[in-house]
Amino acid sequence: MDHDDQPTVPLSGEVRMPLLGFGTWQATGKAGYDSVLAALDAGYRHIDTATMYGNEKEVGRAVQESGLRREDIFITTKLPPERAGRERETLEASLSALGTDHVDLWLIHWPPSSPADSIPMWREMLAARDEDLTRAVGVSNYSTAQMDELIQATEENPAVNQIRWSPFLYDRQRHAEHRDRGIVLEGYSPFKTSELSDPVLARIAAAHNVSPAQVVLRWHIDHEIVVIPKSVTPERIRANADVFGFSLTAEEMRDIDALGGS
Ligand code: NDP
């Protein structure tokens, strides 16, 4: 498949988010740089980082040295909510480390511990988007009720909610709550929350001549859920991107959904 022609999901306006992204938590220093460069070489066009990960500089350097055009790569970073009142300077530091004048998606990393910070922080996110410092804004680790508070106060929906997700956490109701609000569900920790030796995954993997890890990733994509596997191992980086040569039948999707018990 042409790497620049991967499946995407529309966010607000013209923005399209690749359903497959590359996770970078705990990939710092040389390992961070090397893994992002390997990921871009393997065909990922979406990189997930955060202020908290301490690797934006390495991510930025890999993007610049990949030879790809900035507009062909979707970059997400995240605001630590304890930076309440310093949102703008935190984003500027991210942009400077990443070596870019805008990110594609900026997320509140988790709900602020002080509920009073919640709406003002969301307004700061929206202001940064309106000034084109980020193309879209969203949240992470938010409940539906917490997102509804933001929507009620500002009439602006988060474009994305990034939460822990995998077949074993599949929650049909929660997925529908995102869809009903036009909020894209982005899953994180797809492998850490999966039992890769599960017999259902093994059977389906064997039927397609792929690995259970690839089945987990494909399941997200077939549900139009964004997935961001992390690896610092070159073979895994490549294998985790090689998920566009097969797709799951409706029956296989149902069998995998059932692993979540909902
Ligand atoms: P993942 O579920 O992506 O698992 C990563 C682990 O799985 C690593 O130990 C990796 O090993 C291993 N692995 C990678 N590929 C395979 C494979 N094909 N088969 C078996 N094992 C494999 O966990 P993460 O928690 O890193 O989640 C992914 C990304 O989501 C993060 O990197 C981060 O970007 C984001 N995230 C966001 C959070 C938030 O609060 N918003 C919280 C947590 C994660 P190795 O690297 O050694 O190859």
Pocket test for ligand 1, best of 231, 233, 238, 243 (most atoms within 8 A of CB): 231
pTM: 0.98
Biggest CA pair distance of the chain: 53
Cα 108 to Cα 75, 251, 252: the distances in Å are: 15, 36, 34
| CA 151 to centroid of ligand 1, rounded, Å | 30
Distances (CA, A) of 25 to 77, 149, 206: 11, 28, 30
Active site residues: 53
Backbone angles phi, psi at 230, to 5 degrees: -110, 140
DSSP output for 36-84: HHHHHHHT--EEE--GGGT-HHHHHHHHHHT---GGGSEEEEEE-GGGT
pLDDT at 261: 83
pLDDT confidence of residue 58: 98
Probe ligand 1: pick from 191, 214, 227, max atoms within 8 Å of CB?
A: 191
CA of 138 to the centre of ligand 1 (A): 21
CA of 149 relative to ligand 1 center, distance in Å: 30
Q: Residue 23 — φ and ψ, nearest 5°?
A: -85, 145
CB atoms within 10 A of CB 114: 11
Atom from ligand 1 closest to the CA of residue 214: 18
Distance CA 38, CA 33 (A): 9
- Tens of pLDDT along the chain (262 residues) come to 555 679 999 997 789 999 999 999 999 999 999 999 999 999 999 999 999 999 999 999 999 999 999 999 999 999 999 999 999 999 999 999 999 999 999 999 999 999 999 999 999 999 999 999 999 999 999 999 999 999 999 999 999 999 999 999 999 999 999 999 999 999 999 999 999 999 999 999 999 999 999 999 999 999 999 999 999 999 999 999 999 999 999 999 999 999 998 6
| Domains identified in the chain and CATH numbers | 3-260 (3.20.20.100)
Would you say 165 and 187 are in contact if contact means Cβ atoms under 8 Å apart? yes
188 CB under 6 A from ligand 1? yes
CA 214 to chain centre: 17
